[in-house]
Amino acid sequence: MSSSTAKSPTSFPTPPNYPMPPLSSSPTASPAKAPQTSPTRLAIFASGSGTNFVNLVKATRDGRLPGCEVVVLFSDQPTALCLERAAELDIPAFTLERTDYPNRRAFETAIISQLSPYAPDFIALAGYMRILGCTLLESYPERIVNIHPALLPAFPGAHAIEDAFLARVPETGVTVHFVDAGIDSGPIILQQSLTVDPDWTLEELTTNVHAVEYQLYPAALNKVINRPQQSD
């Protein structure tokens, strides 16, 4: 490992400030309204193409995930397509490479430092291909969520769709769960099953699993973020 100083993160453009809507010109006084709560701030981690990232951004804008805004994307891969998609969607993004840091703690400390200005309430992993360490987990306790393309506890790990295909299971699905120190072992938030057509190719199975992901992830985050407040 080189003893050189860690590289500065690559940053991407921040979105423009949108103008406030004009005040009503009506002379009639409107009844007082209760103050609106600020939207929940969501950071997304991704390592690849970013299709789930794009889906979540769109969900916050089309009403499927109300009361939430995606405030930043982080990627550990500086050439990942998700970074280009973030720019197209006017979402701030930054990237850091693990190889620039002597250990996982230093790497995650740098991530937390870059996240700090965005003050995320939750982190959603969307194809982020690294196991999280205690530094991130302790900084965002029970506030990091992951999506996994199988019905956990079946087929944990990075090749779940292929593993299910090779096992010739009649049913698979998608799981959204909180992240803990294990591998795909945190408390489950939501699951959705998918009946497998025995004639599907691996590509067809993958396409159908992804279609379930795009429905389930916004619904699961909505369940976490917009859960009713319990009265005393």
Q: How far apart are CA 231 and CA 42, in angstroms?
A: 26
SS3 label, residue 7: coil
Q: How far apart are CA 60 and CA 217, in angstroms?
A: 12
Cβ contact 46:126 at 8 Å = yes
Q: Cite the beta strand spans of 76-212 per DSSP E.
A: 93-95, 122-125, 144-148, 171-178, 188-195
The angle subtended at Cα 203 by Cα 43 and Cα 209, nearest 5°, is: 45
Q: Enumerate long-range contacts of 195-204, CB under 8 Å, 24 or more apart.
A: 195/170, 195/171, 196/164, 196/169, 196/170, 196/171, 196/172, 198/168, 198/170, 200/165, 202/161, 202/162, 202/165
What's the token pair of residue 175? Answer: 């799981």
Cβ contact 46:130 at 8 Å = no
Active site residues: 148
Angle between helices 51-62 and 202-225 (to 10 degrees): 40
What's the token pair of residue 80? Answer: 């990942």
